[in-house]
Structure formats: C-alpha cells, structure tokens
Amino acid sequence: MGSFFVDMEFRCKEFELNHSHSTMKVGTDAILLSALLPDIEPQNILEIGTGCGIVALCMAQRYQQAVITAIDIDRESIDEAAASFANSKFRQRLTAIQTSLQNFAKTPLQNFDLIVSNPPFFENSLLSDKINRNISRHNINLTLEDLALCSSTLLSSNGTLALILPNKETTKFLLISAQHNLFCTTQYLIADKQSKPCKRIVSLFKTTKPTSHIAQTHIILRKEDNTMTKAYKDLTSAYLL
C-alpha cells in the first residue's frame, strides 16, 4: 500500500489523492455531489461506492466533526482510498471498508446522519470488457431497489440521503424510494451548457414526507465557449485549486 503515497496524482485545496488504481476516478460528478451536499452537521456519514475516495475526503473537509465510513466492493479502489485517507489530515475520521452495501446493511452497527453516493447507473447498456469498470459503472451488483432499501435501513430518523444520477435513473429512483419512506426534498438539475438539456441531477432525500413541492435549482457548468461558468467555479471553489 505504501507505493500509493508517492507523487499524488490529484490535488485539492486541503488534501491530495491518487486515483489510477480505482474503478471510479476523480470526476465532475464527484465534485458536484460534494459541493451540493446540505448545510447540516452530521456526526456519522456513509459513502456508498467510494472509488478513489474523493467524495469522502471532500466531506471530511466540509463536515469537520463527522466520522466517515467509505465502502466499496472493489479491492484496488479501497486500497487506494485508504492510502489517500491515511495521507490526509483527516485520517482519524475516515475509514475505508471493502464490502457491498447489501452486506454492510445486514448487521449495521449504527445509523447515519448523511448517506452519500455516486452510484452505478447505466442500465441495459453495453458493457465494457473490463469487469471492475462494469461493476463500478453499471448496476450489476447494486440496483436502485437495493440502494433505496439499504439506505432506508441505515439512515437515522432525521438523516439525509444524497445521490447524483442521470435523469432517467432519477425518475426511477423517486418512485422506488417513496416505497421505502425516502422522499425527495431538493434537486439540483445540472446541464453542461445553457443550450444543452439537463444531464444529471443531485437529489436529497429525507425519511419524512415533505409538505411542499421539491425545491429545484438549475446549474449550468460551461459557457458556450467551453469556459466554466461563475456558478460552477463558486460551487467548487472550496475544493478545487
């Protein structure tokens, strides 16, 4: 594991990490999800499918009193995330565990105030010839039904579930989650450009049914000349250099 500490590949303002061994590398979705998490004070956080650990590290920076458990089924991802955790100033509040969400939820030791995931979401699409990437990017081992059921089991009574999903999967999950007493309160609809349709959505869920409609905010990432919008820069300024 020591080799992961040399020449860290990606640098944020308050931490560094490697991601070349992980099935889920640093990407826009992970940074957006981290930036759009609610302004709460969670004590215990669970990240489902941590990959290289970028979201967990962002959360450790943001929620300075929280203890974060990051799980993933891929051994290389967990090894790399664990090494990056150990190399950070947040090391005492971060734990990486190789396990599936389904197994983790069977015998939970605690409930979580915040559960966060950038889950596998490509359904009925062509698979690549790389098994680990298929597992991380397709819902081979984690269906939306499993995600809703296990999250409902693991979430504390006033906890929040935060997900980033494409439009189609978001619509499906809204129907599935309600069957497990998870109700959407807030959505951030994200488009690459003003001229493009919304591509993915960050959704926040609570265990109590809201009395009002879902609060929605539209976010545009790039201008037509491909430079980043002020909204995107402001959102990610806490993390990105």
C-alpha to C-alpha distance for 209 and 199, rounded to whole angstroms? 26
C-alpha to C-alpha distance for 77 and 146, rounded to whole angstroms? 21
| Low-confidence residues of the chain: pLDDT under 50 | 1-6, 122-139
Phi, psi values for residue 150, rounded to 5°: -70, -40
C-alpha to C-alpha distance for 113 and 115, rounded to whole angstroms? 7
Angle of helix 75-86 versus helix 54-62 axis, rounded to 10: 30
In a domain, 14, yes or no: no
Nearest to 216 by CA among 205, 201, 230: 201
Residue type, 76: E
C-alpha to C-alpha distance for 163 and 119, rounded to whole angstroms? 8
Rg of the chain, C-alpha, whole Å: 17
Which CATH number characterizes residue 86's domain?
3.40.50.150
In a domain, 16, yes or no: no
Domain limits for position 84: 28-236
pTM: 0.89
In a domain, 142, yes or no: yes
Task: For 77-119, write each residue's pLDDT tens digit.
Answer: 999 999 999 999 999 999 999 999 999 999 888 999 999 999 8
In a domain, 19, yes or no: no
Q: Decide: 170 and 161 in contact? Cβ < 8 Å.
A: no
Q: Decide: 45 and 63 in contact? Cβ < 8 Å.
A: yes
Matching residue, tokens 């499993």 = 146
In a domain, 9, yes or no: no
Q: How many domains does the chain have?
A: 1
Q: Decide: 59 and 162 in contact? Cβ < 8 Å.
A: no
In a domain, 210, yes or no: yes
In a domain, 11, yes or no: no
In a domain, 18, yes or no: no
